Structure 1
Amino acid sequence: MKLKQKQNVYSNEECIHRQGGSKVVKGNWHLLAVSYLVASFTTISINLLYCAMIILLYRHQRITRIQCIIIISSLLIFLSALILEQKESPINSPLPTPHSSNLSGTIVSSVTETDNKIEFQFKEDKSDQKTLVTIFKDTNSDQDYSSININFGAKCTIIGKQEIPQPSKNPGQFNFQNYLKQKGVSFQVTINDKKNVSCYGSSKITILHKLRSGFLTSTDKKLSGYTSSWLNALVLGDDEGISEETVEAFQRWSLSHLLAISGLHVGLIVGIFYFLLVKLQLLTKEKAQNLLILLLPIYAVIAGGAPSVWRSSLMTVSFLLLVKLRLRLSVTDVISIIFLALVLYDPNLLHQLGFQFSFMVTFALLLSKKIISRPYSKWYIIFSISVICQLSILPLQINQFYFINPLSIFVNLLYVPYFSFFVIPSMFFTFLFTYLAPPLSRVIDDLFKMIHQPILKLLMEIDEFLYFPLILGKVEGFYWFIYCLFFYLFMKNLEKNKSNLVLKYGCLLTFVLIFLAVKPYLDPHGSVTMLDVGQGDSFVIELPYRKGIFIIDAAGTMSADFVTPSNKVYKQVIKPYLYSRGIAKVDSLILSHNDHDHVGSVPFIVNELNVKQIVVSKYFSFSEETLEILNQNKIPVLAVDAGDEIIYGDQSIRILYPDMDKGTTNENSLVFYTELGGLRWLFTGDIDEGIENEIILAYPKIEVDVLKIAHHGSNTSTSEKFLTHTNPKFALISVGDNNRYGHPSLEIIERLDKFNIGIMRTDIQGAIRYKFKGKIGTFFSHLPYDN
């Protein structure tokens, strides 16, 4: 019986070998790929667990003794190599010291050029360090930037100041510094004058980069802006022309894979290309295959060189070579070998989200090939593929974006076939006809706009009325281990048509997601977080068991025209933090006063989150635009006065000020007192010393533990008299790094030190979080800080 089981296992691989070829790991290359993946964690527990699993497979005769030894040996080799790599990697090494001087080196990346800037990676000869160079164009002049000769492989001299990239200063915020580190980039340099850059020479593949630039420019000139933006994204891998609104809608509905060139795009292009060459008898099959083997790597470079493009191109080339050499490997083996080749060439690829998504989806579909190859209807197959893809990348998606959109599976059912059968083929033919038959390309251009615009508008309508995301927040790895285990068992039993077990593990998968959604409501911890929003204020209070969420102020910035409000702070700081905490509902949005550095993000919060009410003083006046947004969203406004008390469950917020209209927004700042985690908190907005004196007279016995320093540490407030009266132990200062106002004032810092008050400030420490349980809590800073 055991012998029969063993025989069936090997027959499933459907592999044949050339005589004399190695049979050791054939059919099990995916285990070597997993070995590398496991080794990349470099934790003893995970690696020991994997070794135990391999030994278990051997004991059950699923792999041979030699295969077991090779897999465990490869794990040890990968682990040793990665440990050595990490010690030398810039990701884990301290940042080198930047300097300002003439930098000499070589351009080591493709050059990205837009209407406003030119960007590339530059490797310095002296230090061997990489720098991200950004040249901002002078849009008010007709300067010719092509004269600088910026090409891949060019030798350059750059005059500029190296700067260390900005790290993440808030939980959930995108970490640009780590992003560049993963690409081996240590510094960035900003150039505003093209005279500070001088380059000469190029590399052998510069012609491909120039060809790509030429294609992008040509499509922009020969086609409408609308069509060229989609063609450039889907054929040439440049999505700069796609509107930010569209990109974000595609992200919300898990359609981003349609905007990135991947196996779907390459497969369609190869299929069309092969059909035209062979069916039209332009070339024989063998010559067409040879041409594809030659052109696909070239296309990968021209299409931008994204990991998904290389993965799909190399897979196709590999299969064509196997056919020519009359070799056979399982598809799983091929993708595993390509995975290993890419990560061994560049280990940093493993940290790139596009690389992770591409291989995860491909592996999931390959391992479920028996399920999706059953003789069911096409719509059932498409639905199955959509579900498998969504479930397989769900841990990656939540880890990156903190939410899932349950309805995205059904939207994918509509838009994946639409892109597969119309959008991508039409863009490829438009690209060809732009050079072979320009009049025909313009006909397709008009047809594409006529069809695509209303279908894209439909997606926007769906996004507006049916977008109900499940925001789960940051999830610990343990829960993803449980999820992956249930997902594996779900897929295994689905493959074997064991409907009862499929239902069981499907319910368990659902239960895991429901548990993650309700987990905050079971957590006895609460927190107060002062976000680093630059020169402004924004605090988030989370009550234990998720009994209440309060946001105190929501700073914003202005756009380049200094007139239009910008959503930058909301998108980059406030929203990521709220999503990372699994927050979709705000019980009270408390606004101290109507200055942009305190309320600039309010319209964006109100439009995207479920805000129950807004609390302001009686002397607060909204702008007409904000009032219109509040009315559209039917959000009630509670106007409070000194002496009022806001009760929310067991939480009390006592309003201390203002008691009359002082005429200015700062003097009319809402001042309130509350107790959280065993500490007494006083929030002061932007009041000055005069208002502090009024509070002293009105509340002669008030004492606090935590004082929010008024007006970002300006010397117009936080008087010695006020500090003596309130006697705080901790001072919170929300202030922008190197701000033009000189906040916080050195006078205020010295005064706080004189009173032995612990100072916590966002410009140095990033976000500050007080996490508590009952009446005991601890302060944490997002950035390490040695006071």
Structure 2
Amino acid sequence: MIALFYRIAILKRPIVLEIGILTCLLMMVWCYSLQKNWTTITANRQMEVTKRILVYPDELKFNGNFMTGMVTDVQTGQREAVIMSFKSPQMLKKIDKLTTPSIWLINGQLKPLIPHTNENQFDNLTYNHHRRICNQVQITQIEQVNEQKQGIIGWCHTLRKRLSLYFETLPYPLSTYCHQLIIGSSNEDSAGLMVSVKRLGLLHLFCISGMHIVLFTDLFRRLLAHLWWRKESIDIFLIIILPFYLLVGGGATSLVRAVIMAELGLLHRYLNLDRLDGWALSLLIGLVLDPLLLLTLGGQLSYLLSFVLQVLPESVRGFKQSLLLNLISLPSLLSYVYEVHLLSFGVSYLIIPLFSTVIFPAVLVGALSFSFFEPLAYLINAGLRCFQYILNWLADFPGMIHFGKPPLILALLLFFASLFVISQDASLKSWKILALLYVITGGIIHFPLNGEVTFIDIGQGDSILIREPFNHRVTMIDTGGKLSFKKPNWATARHSQDDAQRITINYLKSKGISQIDTICLTHHDADHIGYLTTILENIAVKRVIVPAGMEKQPALLNKVRNVTNTTPIIIPVTDSVKLSSFPLQILHPFFPGEGKNEDSLVLTGKFGGKKFLFTGDLDQQNEEKVIQKYPQLKIDILKAGHHGSKTASSYSFLQTITPKYAIISAGRFNRYHHPDEITIKNFQKLNINYLSTQQFGMIQYVYYGHNGKIKTTLRGDETSWTLPNYLHN
């Protein structure tokens, strides 16, 4: 802001300075009032509600018997997120087939949204704030569903839903392309399609954006010109229709920008704006609609790349333009995605012309022809399969750089250095300096001076990461996981990312970690090893150690067999086994077992001047055996056994090992009511400070040398409404 106003001041044009200051003041007032409104309407606890809600059918998503979506409270006008698990296939089918807006009378629980609870995890709270949503309603029963009288907005939502149902009848991958490119939504096959697209950095092609609006307007111009429409009439038609397409297309950030800029371009003769004026005005309008716009990857890339396209000289075209656009977007991409494929710098140059001249028109033709001439649609579908095969083939090429998340100051430095390089005909020396900055940033991420012991908030489960300074060794204790309960066939959910993918893998990639030296599995329960396959599929693992006897258990072997990558070495251990290059001492089991709770792997180690003890789900009886065999065992930080259950962490055990801190890893609203009140009272009697992932999210001990400190992702009050009273310390 200082640099901006300095630039405006040296222009010596008072009117520009006055308008700039006035605009900033208005934006500050707008942001403050919006933030205050969010604070006012956010619920502070869970409460039972009966209310009427306005539901647009295209804003509901279904996965098995589970529904999520956005609705509007009829009485207050507030937007709210909704979730519901259906008990019968009849009700599910009835709701899924709704195509018109409707008013529902519902019973349920209103609750505040939970923020992200792990470092670098997707922030659901901020994402919903973008959509002006502050609360969530968990629907328990739908009492009535009454059709709502439609206006123009309702008609747009109806059209979008009917198009979605029609696209679902198309063959794959044509159906997915239609969903992505025409109405900006996803269907059950989208995840598989988008894997290669994301790896190659082509995500912007499959999100409705400026290019799609240009193609749509060009298509309408050609069509209407053939019908002898006048140019002025065509412009007026496009000015009117584009806002409606904004609703039909899903209203994504990039689409909002593209529509605003298209509207300003069509109004050029009346507004007398040049291209940069139009871009700036579209940014201001975008910020009024969503003040958090530039805090998202989509917002940054959409406005940044469109800005660069406005200021690049006419002489910069073709591959050079594609390279510079990739370069300027790289700091933002690395800050959100943490990795980049080397092929993305060249593939986008080759794919974009093919996409705009062949793929996009073919998708439109395929969608239109399926209802009256199926052979043409299936021919186009075969072509799309070939295109998808090429994308998958390219994505499997070596060249994925696991860069990690740059620190904010370095990300900004990289961004401004990239701007400098592309803003002029930079010398070779400038390119070398930019390359050196990337090397230094990568070195800081991959060879950090600090180490960490991190208790990941993985829900009702355990997952602990130990990373030594300079990433010398990376060790993981358990992977977390969920117990699966059999559901009827109609309720079977399609594949979606599990918590390990969304949380653990995301965190590892943000730290530049692409290899784990050792995974320690304490026992065979699903909440400790359930996500093993996900970890092995995404991260290279050298070896897996398990309590002796567990290496024969089907629960473990099935997860390892399902891995398509290289299978790690499995090493069964007892306390008598000494492993090379392993930062922990094994204290239990004493002899082979079956991988049950009583056979849990117990590990201890010293990091940053503090001694840690990790006990898995070891029961009290075997805790006593451990301290009998190791009577001198004293520790600083204990991972509380069995998620704080009363079956572990006995008073005598705690009294012997004298921890200063106890870390409890347990899920919110878990069915076992962990941690138990008895365990909490034991901690309190012995003056042991206890921290729960339920309350504080990810808990980290970050250390330099022999000194460190405990950090938590949450302050502790954000999710207090989810906790029992005895956890409010």
Superposition TM-score, scaled by structure 2 size: 0.89
The residue number in structure 2 matching 1:30 is: none
The residue number in structure 1 matching 2:576 is: 643
Once the two structures are superposed, what CA deviation does each residue of 1:346-404 show, in whole Å capped at 9, x if it has no partner?
A: 4344445433322221112112143434xxxxxxx0x2233223222223222222222
Distance across 1 between alignment mates of 2:69 and 2:445: 43
Distance across 1 between alignment mates of 2:503 and 2:381: 36
Letter of the 1:66 partner, please give it: P
Distance apart, 1:519 and its partner CA: 0.2
Letter of the 1:276 partner, please give it: L
Distance across 2 between alignment mates of 1:328 and 1:354: 29
Once the two structures are superposed, what CA deviation does each residue of 1:545-576 show, in whole Å capped at 9, x if it has no partner?
A: 22221111111225564799985121122112
Q: Secondary structure at the match of 1:532?
A: coil
Distance across 1 between alignment mates of 2:713 and 2:186: 33
The residue number in structure 1 matching 2:395 is: 463
Matched, 1:165 2:109: no
The residue number in structure 2 matching 1:8 is: none
Distance across 2 between alignment mates of 1:432 and 1:452: 16
Once the two structures are superposed, what CA deviation does each residue of 1:200-241 show, in whole Å capped at 9, x if it has no partner?
A: 4344421222222223333444x3353233123212222225
Distance apart, 1:143 and its partner CA: 6.7
Matched, 1:409 2:345: yes
Once the two structures are superposed, what CA deviation does each residue of 1:618-670 show, in whole Å capped at 9, x if it has no partner?
A: 3222533334357950423333331333453xx74211121212345222211
Alignment check: 8 A CA contact 1:155 1:202 kept: no
Give the alignment partner of residue 585 of structure 1, picking from 515, 528, 531: 515
Q: Secondary structure at the match of 2:112?
A: coil
Matched, 1:541 2:466: yes
Shifted more, 564-573 versus 583-592: the winner is 564-573
The residue number in structure 2 matching 1:779 is: 710
The residue number in structure 1 matching 2:6 is: 52
Percent identity between the aligned chains? 25
The residue number in structure 1 matching 2:500 is: 570
Q: How does 1:123-142 map to 2 (within 5 A)?
A: 123-124=72-73, 129-134=78-83, 136=85, 140-141=89-90
Give the alignment partner of residue 237 of structure 1, picking from 184, 191, 194: 184
The residue number in structure 2 matching 1:741 is: 672
Q: How does 1:472-511 map to 2 (within 5 A)?
A: 472-473=404-405, 475-494=406-425, 501-511=426-436
Letter of the 1:641 partner, please give it: T
Letter of the 2:25 partner, please give it: I
| Larger-gyration structure (1/2) | 1
Distance across 2 between alignment mates of 1:567 and 1:213: 25
Q: Secondary structure at the match of 1:700?
A: coil
Matched, 1:444 2:376: yes
Distance across 1 between alignment mates of 2:579 and 2:92: 60
Q: How does 1:93-108 map to 2 (within 5 A)?
A: 95-104=43-52, 106=54
Give the alignment partner of residue 330 of structure 1, picking from 248, 259, 274: 274
Q: Taking CA–CA contacts closer than 8 Å with sequence separation of 6 or more, which of the two structures ends up with the larger relative contact order?
A: 2
Give the superposed CA RMSD.
3.0
Distance across 1 between alignment mates of 2:347 and 2:72: 44
Distance across 2 between alignment mates of 1:236 and 1:777: 51
Go from structure 1 to structure 2 and tell me whether the alpha carbon gap of 1:625 and 1:211 turns closer, same or farther (over 3 Å shift). same
Give the alignment partner of residue 475 of structure 2, picking from 534, 540, 550: 550
Q: How does 1:213-612 map to 2 (within 5 A)?
A: 213-221=161-169, 223-278=170-225, 280-323=226-269, 325=270, 328-373=272-317, 381=318, 383-433=319-369, 438-439=372-373, 442-466=374-398, 468-473=400-405, 475-494=406-425, 501-558=426-483, 561=486, 568-612=498-542
Distance apart, 1:64 and its partner CA: 4.2
Distance across 2 between alignment mates of 1:76 and 1:714: 54
Q: Secondary structure at the match of 1:702?
A: coil
List runs of 5+ in structure 1 lacking aligned partners: 1-46, 374-380, 495-500
Go from structure 1 to structure 2 and tell me whether the alpha carbon gap of 1:420 and 1:138 turns closer, same or farther (over 3 Å shift). farther
Q: Secondary structure at the match of 1:611?
A: strand
Letter of the 1:645 partner, please give it: K
Distance apart, 1:677 and its partner CA: 1.1
Give the alignment partner of residue 65 of structure 1, picking from 13, 21, 43: 13
Q: How does 1:681-720 map to 2 (within 5 A)?
A: 681-720=612-651
The residue number in structure 1 matching 2:722 is: none
The residue number in structure 1 matching 2:723 is: none
Distance across 1 between alignment mates of 2:310 and 2:567: 49
Letter of the 1:783 partner, please give it: L
Distance apart, 1:770 and its partner CA: 0.8
Distance across 2 between alignment mates of 1:586 and 1:515: 23
Distance across 1 between alignment mates of 2:2 and 2:241: 43
List runs of 5+ in structure 2 lacking aligned partners: 717-727
Alignment check: 8 A CA contact 1:132 1:185 kept: yes
Q: Secondary structure at the match of 1:587?
A: strand
The residue number in structure 1 matching 2:130 is: 182
Q: Secondary structure at the match of 1:478?
A: helix
The residue number in structure 2 matching 1:11 is: none
Distance across 1 between alignment mates of 2:542 and 2:93: 54
Distance across 2 between alignment mates of 1:192 and 1:282: 56
Once the two structures are superposed, what CA deviation does each residue of 1:25-73 show, in whole Å capped at 9, x if it has no partner?
A: xxxxxxxxxxxxxxxxxxxxxx333322333xx2xxxx34235523542
Go from structure 1 to structure 2 and tell me whether the alpha carbon gap of 1:281 and 1:731 turns closer, same or farther (over 3 Å shift). closer
Alignment check: 8 A CA contact 1:557 1:568 kept: no
Q: Secondary structure at the match of 1:582?
A: coil
Letter of the 1:416 partner, please give it: I
Alignment check: 8 A CA contact 1:386 1:413 kept: yes
The residue number in structure 1 matching 2:725 is: none
Give the alignment partner of residue 665 of structure 1, picking from 596, 599, 609: 596
Letter of the 2:550 partner, please give it: F
Once the two structures are superposed, what CA deviation does each residue of 1:576-634 show, in whole Å capped at 9, x if it has no partner?
A: 22123222221221221222211111112112112222222332225333343579504
Shifted more, 346-355 versus 455-464: the winner is 346-355
The residue number in structure 2 matching 1:42 is: none
* Matched residues, number: 709
Letter of the 2:384 partner, please give it: H
Matched, 1:90 2:45: no
Go from structure 1 to structure 2 and tell me whether the alpha carbon gap of 1:212 and 1:717 turns closer, same or farther (over 3 Å shift). closer
Distance apart, 1:518 and its partner CA: 1.0
Distance across 2 between alignment mates of 1:774 and 1:276: 70
Alignment check: 8 A CA contact 1:593 1:616 kept: yes
Distance across 2 between alignment mates of 1:631 and 1:159: 45
Shifted more, 713-722 versus 108-117: the winner is 108-117
Alignment check: 8 A CA contact 1:398 1:404 kept: yes
Alignment check: 8 A CA contact 2:246 2:256 kept: yes
Distance apart, 1:675 and its partner CA: 0.7
Letter of the 2:614 partner, please give it: F
Distance across 1 between alignment mates of 2:473 and 2:40: 39
Distance across 2 between alignment mates of 1:353 and 1:109: 28
Go from structure 1 to structure 2 and tell me whether the alpha carbon gap of 1:302 and 1:123 turns closer, same or farther (over 3 Å shift). closer
The residue number in structure 1 matching 2:663 is: 732
